[in-house]
Chain A
Amino acid sequence: MQSNESILKVRDLKINFKTYAGTVQAIRDVSFDLKKGETLAIVGESGSGKTVTTRSIMGLLANNASVAGGSIMFHDKDILKMSQKELQGLRGAQIAQIFQDPMTSLDPTMKIGRQIAEPLMVHKNMSKSKALAQALEMMKLVGITDAEHRINDYPHQFSGGMRQRIVIAIALINYPEILIADEPTTALDVTIQAQILNLMRELQEKISTSIIFITHDLGVVAGMADRVAVMYAGKIVEYGTVDEIFYNPKHPYTWGLLSSMPTLDTNGAELPSIEGTPPDLLDPPVGDAFAPRNEYALNIDTEQEPPFFKVSDTHYAATWLLHPDAPKVTPPEQIIARQQQYAKMQQELAEQAREHHVEEEEEQP
Chain B
Amino acid sequence: MAKYLGKRIFYLLLTLFIVITITFFLMKLLPGTPLTNEQKLSPEQRELILKQYGLTKPVWQQYLIYVAGIFHGNFGTSFQFSDQAVSYLISSRIGPSLLLGLQAMIVGVIPGILFGALGAIKKNTWVDTGTTIVSILGISIPSFVLAVLLQYYVGLKLGWFPIADWGGFAYTVLPTLALAASPFADTARFIRTEMVDVLNSDYIELATAKGLSRMQVIFHHALRNSLIPVVTIIGPLAVNIMTGSMVIENIFSVPGIGEQFVKSILTNDYPTIMAVTIVYSVMLMVVLLITDIIYGVIDPRIRLTGKSN
Residues of B contacting A93 in the complex (Cβ-Cβ under 8 angstroms): 211
CB of B216 closer than 8 Å to a CB of A:
yes
Q: Are A99 and B202 in contact (CB under 8 A)?
A: yes
Q: Are A104 and B211 in contact (CB under 8 A)?
A: no
B206-A170 in contact (CB<8A): yes
Are B211 and A106 in contact (CB-based, < 8 A)?
no
Instruction: Write out the residue numbers on chain B whose beta carbons fall within 8 Å of the beta carbon of A88.
Output: 211-213
Q: Which residues of B contact A110 (CB under 8 A)?
A: 220-221, 224
B300 contacts A122, C-beta separation under 8 Å: no
Assess whether A109 is in contact with B202, with CB atoms less than 8 Å apart. no
Please determine whether B212 and A118 come into contact, CB atoms closer than 8 angstroms.
yes
Interface residues of A in 114-134 (CB under 8 A from B): 118-119, 122-123
Is A221 at the interface (CB under 8 A from chain B)?
no
Q: Which residues of A contact B210 (CB under 8 A)?
A: 91-92, 96, 118-119, 122, 170
Q: How far is the CB of B95 from chain A (nearest CB, A)?
A: 37
A residues in contact with B209, CB < 8 Å: 58, 60, 91-92, 96-97, 99
Interface check B298, CB cutoff 8 A: yes
The answer to whether A90 has its CB under 8 Å from any CB of chain B is yes
Residues of B within 8 A of A243 (CB): none
Say yes or no: is A167 at the interface (Cβ < 8 Å to chain B): yes
Given that A156-B300, A156-B301 are contacting pairs, would A60 and B211 also be in contact in the complex, using a CB cutoff of 8 Å? Answer: no
Does B201 belong to the interface (CB within 8 Å)?
Answer: yes
User: Whole-angstrom distance between the alpha carbons of A119 and B213 in the complex?
Assistant: 11
B225: interface (CB < 8 Å): yes
Q: How far is the CB of A300 from chain B (nearest CB, A)?
A: 42
B202 touches A108 (CB 8 A): no
Expressed in whole angstroms, the Cα–Cα distance for A110 and B220 within the complex equals 9
- Cα(A108)–Cα(B220), bound, Å: 12
- Chain A residues with CB under 8 A of B299: 108-109
If A122-B216, A154-B300, A156-B300 touch, whether A105 touches B211 (CB-CB below 8 Å) is no
Q: Report the count of interface residues on B (CB-CB < 8 A).
A: 23
| Given A156-B300, A156-B301, A108 contacting B211 (CB threshold 8 A) | no
> Which residue from A89, A97, A107, A122 sits with its C-beta under 8 Å from B221?
A107
Interface size class on chain A is 20 to 34
Where chain B touches its partner, the secondary structure class is helix
Q: Does chain A have a CB within 8 A of B74?
A: no
The distance from the CB of A82 to the nearest CB of chain B, in whole angstroms, is 12
CA A351 to CA B179, docked complex, whole Å: 89
Does A305 lie at the interface of the complex (its beta carbon under 8 Å from any beta carbon of B)?
Answer: no
Residue of A at shortest CB range from B302?
Answer: A156
Question: A108–B206 contact, CB under 8 A?
Answer: no
Q: Say yes or no: A106 contacts B206, CB within 8 Å.
A: yes
Q: Once the chains bind, are B211 and A123 in contact (CB under 8 Å)?
A: yes
A101 at the interface (CB under 8 A from B): yes
Give Cα A107 to B216, complex, Å: 13
Contact of A108 among B213, B216, B301, B308 (CB under 8 A): B301
A58 to B210 CA separation, bound complex (whole angstroms): 10
Interface residues of B in 205-236 (CB under 8 A from A): 205-213, 216, 220-221, 224-225, 228
By a CB distance below 8 angstroms, the chain A residues around B203 are: 104-108
In the bound complex, residues from chain A placing their C-beta under 8 Å from that of B207 are: 107, 118
Could you tell me if B211 and A92 are in contact, using CB atoms closer than 8 angstroms? yes
- B211 & A90 in contact (Cβ 8 Å cutoff): yes
In angstroms, Cα B207 to Cα A36, docked, is: 26
B221 CB contacts on chain A under 8 angstroms: 107, 110
Residue in B206, B208, B213, B298 whose CB lies within 8 Å of A109: B298
Nearest-CB residue, chain A, relative to B228: A109
Whole-angstrom distance between the Cβ of A183 and the nearest chain B Cβ: 12
Pairwise interchain contact B206-A99, C-beta atoms closer than 8 A: yes
Across the A-B interface, the 8 shortest Cβ-Cβ residue pairs: A92-B211, A92-B210, A91-B211, A104-B202, A154-B300, A105-B202, A107-B203, A119-B210
Taking A91-B209, A157-B308 as known contacts, 13 extra A-B pairs with beta carbons closer than 8 A to each other, sorted by chain A number, are A88-B211, A88-B212, A89-B211, A91-B208, A92-B212, A93-B211, A99-B209, A105-B205, A108-B225, A108-B301, A109-B298, A109-B299, A110-B221
9 contacts between A and B (CB under 8 A): A58-B209, A89-B211, A91-B211, A92-B210, A106-B206, A107-B203, A109-B225, A122-B211, A122-B212
Q: Give chain A's interface residues, CB within 8 Å of chain B.
A: 58, 60, 88-93, 96-97, 99, 101, 104-110, 118-119, 122-123, 153-154, 156-157, 167, 170
